[in-house]
Structures are given as structure tokens and as C-alpha cells.
Structure 1
Amino acid sequence: MPLLQVSDLQVEFKTNDATVRAVNGVNFTLEAGETLGIVGESGSGKSQSVLAMLGLLASNGRASGQALYRGENLLGLSGKALNRIRGNRLSMIFQDPMSSLNPYLSIERQMTEVLELHKNMTRRAAKKRAIGMLEAVRIPEAAHRIGQYPHELSGGMRQRVMIAMALLCEPEVLFADEPTTALDVTVQAQVLQLLRDLQRDFGTSIVLITHDLGVVAGLCEKVMVMYGGRVMEQCDASSLFAKPSHPYTIGLLRALPRLDKSGGELTGIPGNPPNMAHPPAGCPFHERCAHAAEDCVQHVPALRPVDGVHWLRACHRPAEDMITRYQEASHV
């Protein structure tokens, strides 16, 4: 049985104007020690999918479907039951460390509280464990840094503190929401290497939420591409980069700079993401897709297997045709 199995996950938000359908029928599995990358533009439903599983939606949000962690549906648990799991067996690195860390509390207090709550440690034992974890994420002078406040640390240091906090209880699943946002490329590379090292040392499964396909290439084994609250394509990382089959995935890849080619302009995806308060009737990507036809406008494509059962896509256009077009364009 997979460590985490998500089936028909739906997330919607009630507003004064309309119901916003942020996530529509997401399905995926996560095995022990595996890394899954969830990719897509802002507003595609990546973060809300994870927040729904952890019971962290806004007060006007509602989730349905199943998110089975070791056979137990997270969506059906009470807040008290979720509190025993969150931060302990399931942990999350939030997107902005400056707003996620409490500016009024020292790093020590924010870290020891987790261990006192979930591991029943004394303050002294918790502090020793916290210092050890800060050292594990390569924060220099950890015994001194632990007494500082968030504003005294750089952005890279704050992100490392967030990672250390998430790993204090050695969780089985780590959700990382844009863990390298706003970091320069050097610090970004250090954080990604740190996640690889920690996964190797602790055997943690990782769900990485990102819009950066370069980050996915360096860390993930499986990838799920989302757009308009739906899964567009889902496969192993090597297949996604070698032969993407969905027009949206191809658009994302063509927007990336190429190291093997000099000159030329990046190709953007025209238009804007759909308004999920009033989603389109057919494929959510059809208004921006150069290959859209009448069936794309009228009917939502089902998520179908492309190569066995491990490669799925939601598109009316033949997969082989899209792969061929991408490969021919890539060699121009």
C-alpha cells in the first residue's frame, strides 16, 4: 500500500460572489522515500491540494474526496486528531519563511515547542535536539543562532530554519511549498542539495510544490503538472523532460532557457489562467492552447494512460502527435 494515496480530491471556496473551484479531482500516490513534484502556474491548485490534506484551508474552504495516509483518511479527521499527525509524521515547509516564522519568538522557542508537544521532551533535551538539527541543515554556530530571532537571519538561513523545524520529528512525509522562492541561485542550489541529503539520511518522502521545472529536474522522481485545478500530465520526471505529451507541459518547457542553444527568444504561453469562480466548460487550457479544437471547448478530457499506467495525461489530442511535434521543434 502507498504511504499516501489521494483520490478525487476536490477543494472549493465559498465567496460572496461565487464558489471558487480551486482543485478538481486530483489523484496521486506517494511511496516511502519517493519525491513527487507538483508543477504549475500560480492559481493552478498546487498549494491548496496540500493544505486541504493537512486541514489548513481557509475558513471558507471545503475539501472532499480521500487522502489516505497509511490507510487513514486525513480529510475525515478532527482537528485534534490532525494535530497529532501534523508536524510529527506529516510536516510542511511553507513558502515564505519570514511570514511563517513568528517574529516575536526566538528560533529556540519555535523549535523546542514542536518537540515538547509531539515528543514530550524536556526544554533542555528539546534545545539539544534543535541545535543538532540546525547543524544538520548546515547553519554555522547553531548554538548561538538558536537564541536569535527571525529578523536577525538572512533569507537563506530562515529557510534552513524552516526545513530544520519541519524535520525535527523525523516525519515520514515532507511537503515543501516553493522552498526556494526568493532565494538567489547559489542558496537555491544549497537548499535543494540539503533536501536530497536529508531524504537520503532520514528516508523521508517529499512532495515538492513548485513552478520551476529546473528544481523538479534536480530533485523529483515523479511529476504531476496542474492547470486550472486539474491534473494535465503525470509521469516520471525523465519522461516529462524527454517527451512531454500535453500542450501545457510543452508550453512550460519551451518557456525555459536552453543551455544547449545560444540566442533566440523564449516562447511564452499567451493569455491568462482561467477564472476558477467561472471555469470554462471544456479543457481548462483550451483558451491558451494552439492545438485546441471544438471538442476541447465543449468537453473536459479524461485523464488517460499514455504508456502503461504510470504516464497519464488529460488531452483530446493524440499523445504521439504532441510528442513528435515537441521533439521536432526542439531540434530546430
Structure 2
Amino acid sequence: MPLLEVNDLQVEFRTHDAAVRAVNGVNFTLEEGETLGIVGESGSGKSQSVLAMLGLLASNGRASGRAMYRGENLIGMTNRAMNRIRGNRLSMIFQDPMSSLNPYLTIERQMTEVLELHKNVTRREAKRRAISLLEAVRIPEAAHRIGQYPHELSGGMRQRVMIAMALLCEPEVLFADEPTTALDVTVQAQILQLLRNLQHDFGTSIVLITHDLGVVAGLCEKVMVMYGGRVMEQCDANTLFAQPSHPYTVGLLRALPRLDHDGGELTGIPGNPPNMAHPPAGCPFHERCADASDECAVDAPALKAIGPGWLRACHRPVHLIKKEASHV
């Protein structure tokens, strides 16, 4: 039985004059100790999918569907029940550590509060545990740093503090929303290695939200590609990089810088992501797809299996996509 099983997840935001469907029918499973990467451009529905599962949507957001964790449906769970799980068995690393950490509280207070609430330990024991986690995420002089405020730390250190906070209660599932955004490449590599080490040490399952396929290649076993609130392709990471089967996936891979290619401009995907307040008919990617047919403009393709554990949503024959992907 999967540790986390999501079926037909829908997220909608209502305004005074419109309803915006941010997530439309997402399905996936997560096994113990596994890492799933959710990739796509900004606005594809990656973060909202996870926020819906953790009960952290904005006040005008509504979620439906099922997200089964240990036999409990996270969607529609009461605040009291969610507070028992969130931060304890399910944790999240938010995208911007500066805005996620409280500027008025020391690192010590922000970390010890989590343990006092969920593990019912004394302040002294909570501080000892917090210092131990700061050392585990390679923060130097952790016993001193724990008494500082967020603004006194560098961006890389604040991100490490966020990771340590998320791991305080040794969660079974860690959701990481762009954990390396705005970090230089050296610190980014350190953070990714840290996540690998912590997963090995704690056996934590990870859901990694990112727009960077390079990050996915270094950390994830499975990948789910999202666009316009829908899943475009879903398979294991090795298959995705070797044989991408959706035009959008091919476009993302072509936009990556490659060491084995000569210099020159990167190949971007023309156009812009759809406005989800007024979504296009048919396939959400058809307006930017060079190979879209008339069918694509009127009929949204269903997500269908094209191999073991391999799903894609596209009208174009698989063999044509694979032929083009061979030039990525």
C-alpha cells in the first residue's frame, strides 16, 4: 500500500467574478523512501497541489478529491486533525525561507516550539534536539547560531534552517517547494546532497516541487510533469530523460543547458503559460505546441498509459514524439 495516494485532486479559487481551476485531476502515488519530482513552469499547479493536501490553501481556495495518507483523507480534514499531522508526520520546506521564518523570533524559539507542540518535550530537550538538527544540516557553530534571528543568517543558512525545522519530528513525507531557488550553484549542490543524505538517514519520502529538471535528475526516482493544472507526463526519471513522450517535456529538456552541446542560444518554448481564469479549450499546451492538430484545440487528451508506470496526455502518436526527442 502506498504511503501517499492522490486521486482526482482538484483545486479551485473563487473570486467575485470568476472561478480559477488551478489543479485539474492530479493522480500519483508515493512509496516509503521514494522521491517524486513535480516539474513545470510557474502557474502549472505544482505548489497548489501540495498546499491543498496540507490544508494551506488561501481562504478562497477549495480542494476536492482524495489524498490518502495512512488510511486518512487529507482533503477536507478538520483543522484539529490536520494540526496533529502537519509539521509532525508531514512537513514542508517553503520556497522563500526569509518570508517563511518569523523575523521577530529567534531560530531557537521557532524550532523548539515544533517539538514542544508535537513531541511534548521540555524546552531544554527541544533545544538540544534543535541544535543536533542544525549540525546535521551542516550549520557551523550551531549552538551559537540557534540564538540568532533570521536576518542574521545568509540565504543558504536560512534554507538549511527551514530544512532542519521540517525534519525536527522525523516526518514520513517531506514536501520541498523549490528548496534551491535563489541560491548559487554551489549552495544548491550542497542542499541537494543534504536532502539525499537526510533521506538516507531518516528514510523520509520526498515530494520535490521544482521548475528545474537538472535538480530532478540528481534527486528523484519518479517525475510528474504538469502544465495548466494538468499532468502531461508521468514516469520514472530515467525514462523521462531518455525517452520523453510529450511535446511539453521535450520543450523543457531542450531549454536546459547541455555540456555535450556546442555553444549557442538555448531553445525556449514560445509563448506563455495559459491564463487559468480563462483556460483554452482542448489541450492546455496546444497554443504553444508546434505540432498541435485541430483535435488538440477542441479535445483535451486523457492521461493514458503508454508503458509500465508511464502515462502521458497527448493526441500525437508516441513514435513521432520519441523520434523528435532523440534530438534533445
SS class of match (1:36): strand
Aligned to 1:159: 159
Aligned to 2:288: 288
Matching residue of 2:324: 325
* Higher alpha-carbon deviation: 35-44 or 271-280: 271-280
User: After TM superposition, which residue ranges in structure 1, 4 or more long, deviate above 3 angstroms?
Assistant: none
**Letter matched to residue 123 of structure 1:** R
Instruction: Tell me if 1:73 matches 2:73.
Output: yes
**Residues of 2 paired with 1:153 and 1:161: CA distance?**
9
Residue identity over aligned pairs, in percent, reads 84
- Equivalent positions of 1:194-213 (< 5 A) are 194-213=194-213
Contact 2:36–2:208 (Cα < 8 Å) also in 1: yes
Q: Supply the distance in 1 between the matched residues of 2:146 and 2:139 (Cα, whole angstroms).
A: 10
Q: Is the 8 A contact 2:38 2:225 kept in 1?
A: yes
Aligned residue for 2:272?
Answer: 272
> Matches of 1:18 and 1:76 in 2, distance apart?
23
Please give the alpha-carbon distance, in whole angstroms, between the structure 1 residues aligned to 2:213 and 2:93.
19
Aligned to 1:312: 311
Q: Secondary structure at the match of 1:234?
A: strand
What letter corresponds to residue 175 of structure 2 in structure 1?
F
Aligned letter for 2:56?
L
Structural mapping, 1:231-310, within 5 Å: 231-308=231-308, 310=309
Matched AA of 2:48: Q
1:107 matches 2:107: yes
Q: Which runs of 5+ in 1 are unaligned?
A: none
Q: Is 2:91 aligned against 1:83?
A: no
Secondary structure of 1:159's partner?
helix
Q: Take 2:275 and 2:164, find their aligned partners in 1: how far apart are those partners?
A: 37
Please state how far the C-alpha of 1:70 moved relative to its aligned partner: 1.1
Distance 1:178 1:99 in 2: 14
SS in 2 for 1:95: coil
Match of 1:29 in 2: 29
Q: What pairs with 1:109-188 in structure 2 (closer than 5 Å)?
A: 109-188=109-188
Name the aligned partner's letter for residue 178 of structure 1.
Answer: E
Q: Which amino acid aligns with 1:31?
A: E
Q: CA deviation at 1:17?
A: 2.6
Distance apart, 1:64 and its partner CA: 0.2
Other structure's SS at 1:76 match:
coil
- 1:148-173 Cα offsets, whole Å, 9 max, x none, are 00000000000000000000000000
Q: CA deviation at 1:76?
A: 2.7
TM-score, normalised on structure 1?
0.98
Which residue in 1 is equivalent to 2:63? Answer: 63
SS of match in other structure, 2:279: coil
Distance 1:88 1:207 in 2: 16
- SS of alignment partner, residue 47 of structure 1: helix
* Residue pair 2:63, 2:76 contacting (<8 A) in 1 also: no
SS of residue paired to 2:175: strand
Does the CA contact (< 8 Å) of 2:36 and 2:207 recur in 1? yes
Structure 2 gaps of 5+ residues are: none
Aligned-residue Cα RMSD (Å) equals: 0.6
Match of 1:8 in 2: 8
Q: TM-score, normalised by structure 2?
A: 0.99
Q: Distance in 1 between matches of 2:147 and 2:265?
A: 49
Deviation at residue 62 of structure 1 after TM alignment: 0.1
Instruction: Look up the equivalent residue of 1:278 and give its one-letter code.
Output: H
CA distance in 2, matches of 1:211, 1:76: 28
Task: Show CA shifts across 1:119-167 (max 9, x none).
Answer: 0011000000000000000101000000000000000000000000000
Distance in 1 of aligned mates of 2:49 and 2:169: 23
Question: Separation in 1 of the partners of 2:216 and 2:200?
Answer: 17
Could you tell me how far 1:265 is from its partner in structure 2?
Answer: 1.9
SS of match in other structure, 1:134: helix
Q: Which amino acid aligns with 2:52?
A: A
Between stretches 238-247 and 318-327, larger displacement belongs to 318-327
The DSSP-based 3-state class of the residue aligned with 2:88 is coil
Cα deviations by residue, 1:184-233 (Å, 9 ceiling, x for unpaired) = 00000000000000000000000000000000000000000000000000
Number of aligned positions between the proteins: 328
Cα-to-partner distance string for 1:239-258 (whole Å, 9 max, x where unaligned): 00001000000000000111
